[in-house]
Amino acid sequence: MQGSLDGPKRWLGDQIEQGTTGVVGEYDDNIKRNGIFIPTGEDPPLHSVVTFTINLLEVMTVLHGQGTVIQVINKQQAQEYDTVPGVCLEITNFAEEDKQLLEEYVSKKKLK
């Protein structure tokens, strides 16, 4: 999977916990362009490789991926920008079957 040159947009991480709108929005804004914002209290080093999961609770599925840190938003920056701390990742490894499950999930959510 090739990464996006533009990288992922910053995303307000609390949306993903409030329902499926966050998952659909994150998919539309970032994942389909090979990026994702992960809210975290830790600051992994820039350009480090990290693993991530996406929990689709409605269908009881956990998706797994791996990405390279391209931006870190620490606690101070998060306060300045009125957002949450986290990391922007360029997705470098996302299993094809997980990607397909996520695409199907998002398509069904958009029909509702």
pLDDT digits (tens, 9 = 90+) for 45-94: 999 999 888 888 888 888 889 999 999 999 999 899 888 898 999 999 99
Check pLDDT > 80 for residue 109. Answer: yes
Q: HSE of 78 in the Cβ direction (CA atoms, 13 Å)?
A: 22
Q: Angle, to 10 degrees, between the axis of helix 96-111 and the axis of helix 20-29?
A: 120
For strands 61-73 and 86-94, give the pairing: antiparallel
Domain boundaries defined on the chain:
14-107
pTM over the 0.75 mark: no
pLDDT score of 101: 92
Q: How confident is the model at residue 112 (pLDDT cuts 50, 70, 90)?
A: confident
Q: How far is CA 53 from CA 76, 110, 111, 112, in A?
A: 25, 22, 24, 25
